[in-house]
Amino acid sequence: MNQHVLAERPVVVAHRGASVEAPENTLAAFRRALELGAPAMELDVHRTADGELVVIHDATVDRTTNGTGAVAEVTLEALRRLDAGAWKGDAFEGERIPTLAEVCRLARGRAALVVEIKAAGIADQVVSTLEAEGVLDESFIISFSQETARRVKEIRPGATVGLLSGKAEDLPQVAELGLDAFCPHYAAATEEMARELHAANRLLSVWTVNDEDGMRRMAALGSDLITSDNPALALEVLPRG
């Protein structure tokens, strides 16, 4: 993630796109986040049965499409027949599960991507795709999997990589793995954590903050990135600079 993205902090990250307004992880949600002026957008990556990287949160399509089954057991062609928007409202009927490359092309030059690698064994392919699409320097790669985060740093030491965790106790893993950021749930973030990370020239990135008080509190304690389903609200209430 280039320094220019971090020049104005906290960086507002549209979680799964502008997911409070549009179906999460669809081009409609990412377009809306861009329209709002979000400087960064978070997305989740899985791989299909035929080896294509797609943007969807769950390991199955059940919750966010009109289909059923595991993403890893379905081909891209079959996934693309599913409706990924109607569950959020009639206006979004016809939205599809996007590929990672499609989201990269939409975001390139307009917003940074916070790329969460959800599935095991896809780190190399995710990095190659971001590189091929010309967005790796603008990206922040995150994972709950220490092995995945470690692998990304191993193959691209210059990439910005963060460890996701629900627990403050995982903070030491960031230094142990040689990563650039800690990404705790915001309930676990503290001022001391921010100080410790900043002293080591690392970033604090919190998720998923949807209320004004929480946003202000996270900004005040020094979180560098604040991820929200409601980027419109975050952009309105957060002081940047």
Q: Does 116 bind ligand G3P (CB under 6 A)?
A: yes
Q: Does 21 bind ligand G3P (CB under 6 A)?
A: no
Residue type, 84: A
Q: The tokens of 146 are what? A: 């220490």
Q: Which is nearer to ligand G3P, 77 or 169 (CB)?
A: 169
Q: Does 95 bind ligand G3P (CB under 6 A)?
A: no
In 14-54, where does DSSP find H-type helix? 27-36
Q: Tell me if residue 57 is catalytic.
A: yes
Q: Does 140 bind ligand G3P (CB under 6 A)?
A: no
In the chain, where does DSSP find H-type helix? 3-6, 27-36, 76-80, 100-107, 123-132, 146-155, 171-176, 191-199, 212-221, 231-237
Using CB under 6 A, which of 99, 227, 228, 230 touches ligand G3P? 227
Of the candidates 234, 233, 211, 231, the one whose C-alpha atom is nearest the C-alpha of residue 16 is 231
Query: Strands 53-55 and 40-47, how do they pair?
Result: antiparallel
Question: Which residue's CB comes closest to ligand G3P?
Answer: 207
Q: Does 186 bind ligand G3P (CB under 6 A)?
A: no
By CB under 5 A, how many residues form the interface with Ca ion? 2
Q: Does 44 bind ligand G3P (CB under 6 A)?
A: yes
Q: How far is the CB of 8 from Ca ion (least distance, A)?
A: 23
Using CB under 6 A, which of 21, 42, 95, 180 touches ligand G3P? 42
Task: State the distance between the two ends of the chain, measured CA to CA, in whole angstroms.
Answer: 17
d(C-alpha 16, C-alpha 150), whole Å: 23
- The residues, any chain, with a CB within 8 Å of residue 204's CB and separated by 6 or more, are 181, 182, 183, 184, 189, 193, 194, 197, 198, 222, 223, 224, 225
Q: How far is the CB of 80 from ligand G3P (least distance, A)?
A: 22
Q: How far is the CB of 181 from ligand G3P (least distance, A)?
A: 11
Q: Does 44 bind Ca ion (CB under 5 A)?
A: yes
Residues annotated as catalytic are: 15, 57
| Interface residues toward ligand G3P, by CB under 6 A | 15, 42, 44, 57, 116, 164, 207-208, 227
